[in-house]
Chains A and B, each alone.
Chain A
Amino acid sequence: DAKTTQPPSMDCAEGRAANLPCNHSTISGNEYVYWYRQIHSQGPQYIIHGLKNNETNEMASLIITEDRKSSTLILPHATLRDTAVYYCIVRSDFGNEKLTFGTGTRLTIIP
């Protein structure tokens, strides 16, 4: 699986959009970009995933660049409950379910 690079930490004001970047320059054509988050001592929570096109669900939006070498997770209106470690993961969806977690981005929402 391709390696990902994320900033170690970010702050965002409550009510503003939080934009979390991820670099995955060695991503292959059949690899998806997944985002999970982990609130202190809980199991990781699935947020969103995508292959090429931008994706949106009730939690977030995922913007993937045209060359697929980077992506941005957008939390449109951050709340204090969005404070967590956010993991960007690249994986193939063909049988290989191993998720390779890096160190993620620690997002702190500031009141």
Chain B
Amino acid sequence: DAGVTQSPTHLIKTRGQQVTLRCSPISGHKSVSWYQQVLGQGPQFIFQYYEKEERGRGNFPDRFSARQFPNYSSELNVNALLLGDSALYLCASSRGGDTAYFGPGTRLTVL
């Protein structure tokens, strides 16, 4: 079975722009979570969605938003990009309440 997939792999944006990152969960998984990992730190939880509903939100500003589609894929949107948003963005999926499996991540660079 295919693992969690994320697109794009790399992305370069400038300050003030908006970005959309995409995630496809493992087949049969209904829960998707998003994490941000800045260089030298562990991943930080941003959002969790289960059955298209938000189940958890981390300590991130309202510039960060997400949604989950009927096929359980998900998008993470970040508006008004700041230099500090440069990071590896990780998506993880699970059946719901059990082990989460991570994708390879999207490397976002904000110039």
Contact = CB atoms under 8 A, between A and B. Distances in A.
Interface of A: 34, 36, 41-46, 49, 87, 93-104
Interface residues of B, number: 29
Contacts of B107: 41
B56 A98 contact: yes
B58 A98 contact: yes
B97 interface: yes
Interface of B: 4, 31, 33, 35, 41-45, 48, 50, 55-56, 58, 88, 90, 92, 94, 96-105, 107
B88 A41 contact: yes
B103 A43 contact: yes
B56 A96 contact: yes
Nearest to B46: A98
Contacts of B55: 95, 97
Contacts of A104: 42
Contacts of A99: 33, 35, 43, 45, 92, 100
